[in-house]
A and B are shown apart, each in its own frame.
Chain A
Amino acid sequence: MTNAAPLPASRAAASPSDDERRVLAVRLENHAGALNRVANLFSQRGFNLDSVTVSPTEDPTVSRMTLTTSGSPRQMEQAIAQVKNLVDVLAVDDLTSAEHVERELCLVRVHYTPETRSELVDLIGFYKGIVVDVRPETLVIELSGPVAKINQFVAHVARFGVTDVARSGRVAMRREIVYGD
């Protein structure tokens, strides 16, 4: 045949390409079923769900979820379209390329000895952490900030002996408030 159009780079929507991370703010109905539907969608359709946080908003009938997912650009477009399709979902805002703030809260229980205590306390001060519980051999430290800072802190205190880490998962917000498309 003549007059052939140029070959498309790839016909398949699910073709492998560089993974990207997306941060989504999702407003949804405030009942347990709604959260289940979103989480279930990710497992059912094989999308990665890297982090989820959810809590009620200023309107008690509405919850807000911050959801971090990763995959190929096409998978991400598909994941967003499928989330929007859920009847319980009111709005989806893709924060990834917008100017936005991301924060995480973390509690870490760290072992200390009389010899290491002052060094540990200096480190906590350096990271602007707060000691929220003190026991004869352990401290519980509260720290909030960008995810990278939390990662760095947890790695940093590992050598003292960390016995427990609780992280909230990422919460994020646009620097200007726009929901939906």
Chain B
Amino acid sequence: MELVTAPTAAPHTPHPLDGTVMTGAEAFCHALDAQGVQIVFGYPGGAIIKIYDEMARIQPRWQHILCRHEQGGTHMAEGYAKATGGVGTVLVTSGPGATNAVTGIADAYMDSIPLVVFSGQVSSHLIGNDAFQETDMMGITRSITKHSFQVRRFEDLVPTIRAAYHLAETGRPGPVVVDLPKDMIASSGVFEWPEAIVPRGYESTPDPDPVFVQMAAQMLNASERPVLYVGGGTIMANAGAQLTAFAQRNRLPVTTTLHGLGAFPEDDPLALHMLGMHGTWYANQAIQNADLIVAVGARFDDRVTGKLEAWAPLAQIVHIDIDAACIGKNVVADCPVRGDVKAVLEVLSPLVKRKERDAWHAQIAAWKAEAPLDFARDGVLRPQGVIEMLREATGGHAVLVSDVGQHQMWAAQYFRYVEPRSHITSGGLGTMGFSVPAAIGAAFALREQGRDDLPVLSVSGDGGFVMNAQEMAVARKFNLNVLFVVVNNSYLGMVRQWQELFHEERYSHTDLTDLNPDYVKLAEAYGIPGVRTTTVDEAEAAIRDALATPGPKLVECVVPTEEMVFPMVPAGAATGDMILTRDRFDG
């Protein structure tokens, strides 16, 4: 692997320790400091014991957070990265430490989250011998990383660390694994902090092609029924403000993906809210009737499009994305614009003329009035109501970190996000057990940014909560302002919903009644105060009280088992064919 100077490299400044002889473990600690790493989520073990020893001896500036399980640590790093826009760092030992991190790495790959995961490895001479705690981490993670390195020689260690961070955070972000054999960590050499470097085969993001930018502007100017379809790439590019100004100035309706939530303020009249399988009916209607769709940092995921052949049948498509391989992967783009979303919007914006398109906006308003998002407001404590309470209690000024399942969709539908990075979830991989640790990671990020007053709302179902509930210990140890909300319907609700709708009500292994713990006692076991609520009044009071004082809290909301997420495009169906309510499905 040949490393070359990164094209974006700042002028190189020498490091005070340049020329000093030290071990790999020491060099690791100093290199992370030089890289500007603030926090590392990790778990010690035999292969990396020397790094932990140096941590105690050198006392680097970066903080180490001891997670309770490596999967938890990896999700913490994801939550941290999503909340800051920076790179999350993970340190795990070889074998089981490394494999426990795999789910988080896969999750970060699917959602393009910048992570650097350092995994210990057995000594070089034992690699391939089925040694104690040996796992082929390079092989296991090959298809779930942006890139991976195994560092065999001391002199490659610091340059590889430098390159790993550059790869993780530039272009389309993603996880990078750096495998560290134990003998390399123990070996000695001369520390040299290199200038910013990358593998020579790494392609930096090109400037947007002016021909396609011009074409996109012409298509927008000609369009009578445009829709902006905004994805997570907009938030990753820190282009939420540009996107919002662009849409408002040109009066363009905006629908967002699950990861796009927060890129455009959802209380703006131009907001169509989320589209797709559990998106709003009016967003999907707009897509189905649009004559132009401008995809902004979105990837035409199957949960967005449903049956592709029937999706947006009248529309031409402009696809703005940083990843050349993403354009044309699922959907043919009539106008491909490769580039960073912010850079593209900067050059596209001056070319677009405002058009009123009154007929189109009137049509959208009519659709919004015809089938708004709603649920039974009958005094029963319902999961959608819990999300609205959280919104009301915080005014939307919070970071909501959802888990995976029904509550995730309700959190996407009913919170009404107004700021980028206020919504964090596992979208691509759909990893249950994500919320508790990711919320903790987000809380560390807010603390680092001095925004500690902003509450972090970890919303989970009763199933997913226990998958990483042990990480509550970390929230307690650091007295993080995380409110753990368990939306408890005593079922694996999303699977149950599919069983009810599509599998003739055979509730195969989704009933958790005899499996769920006492959530309040579980929280208390970790030193976190908890409250169980079963009515609207109890839940409102508990949420208000929990947010009134600092530190972690748990509120369990017992909700009806039968509640289902609507509207819904059944899997494989056309986006136009939405189930709006249970009644309409039955009838």
Contacts and interface: CB of A to CB of B under 8 A. Distances in A.
- The range of chain B's interface size is 35 or more
B325 A85 contact: yes
A101 interface: no
Interface in B332-376: 332, 334, 363
Interface string A158-177: 00000000000000000000
A157 interface: no
Interface in A1-53: 1, 3-5, 7-8, 10-15, 28-29, 31, 33, 36-37, 40-41, 44
B311 interface: yes
A81 interface: yes
- The range of chain A's interface size is 20 to 34
B189 to A, nearest CB: 21
B308 interface: yes
Contacts of B334: 8
Contacts of B323: 85
A88 B289 contact: no
Given A13-B330, A37-B142, A7 B1 contact: no
Contacts of A102: none
Given A90-B200, A90-B201, A13 B328 contact: yes
Nearest to B167: A87
B167 to A, nearest CB: 7
Contacts of A89: 201
Contact of A5 (B138, B150, B314): B314
Contact of A1 (B138, B310, B314): B314
A159 to B, nearest CB: 44
B324 A84 contact: yes
Interface in B457-508: none
B317 to A, nearest CB: 8
Residue among B146, B199, B200, B325 having the largest count of chain A Cβ atoms under 10 Å: B325
A78 interface: yes
A125 B400 CA distance: 77
Given A10-B332, A31-B1, A44 B325 contact: no
B192 interface: no
Contact of B312 (A3, A11, A86): A11
Given A10-B309, A81-B324, A87 B315 contact: no
A61 interface: yes
A82 interface: yes
Interface in B294-339: 308-316, 323-325, 328-332, 334
Contacts of A14: 330
Contact of B291 (A3, A11, A37, A82): A3
B224 interface: yes
B147 interface: yes
Contacts of A88: 1, 147, 199, 201
Given A84-B324, A87-B146, A89-B201, A3 B224 contact: yes
A5 B311 contact: no
B448 interface: no
A82 to B, nearest CB: 5
A97 to B, nearest CB: 19
Interface in A123-166: none
A58 B202 CA distance: 21
Interface in A71-123: 74, 77-78, 81-82, 84-90
B330 A84 contact: no
B453 interface: no
Contact of B324 (A41, A61, A85): A85
12 contacts: A4-B314, A5-B314, A10-B309, A10-B332, A11-B311, A11-B312, A13-B332, A40-B143, A74-B328, A78-B328, A81-B324, A82-B325
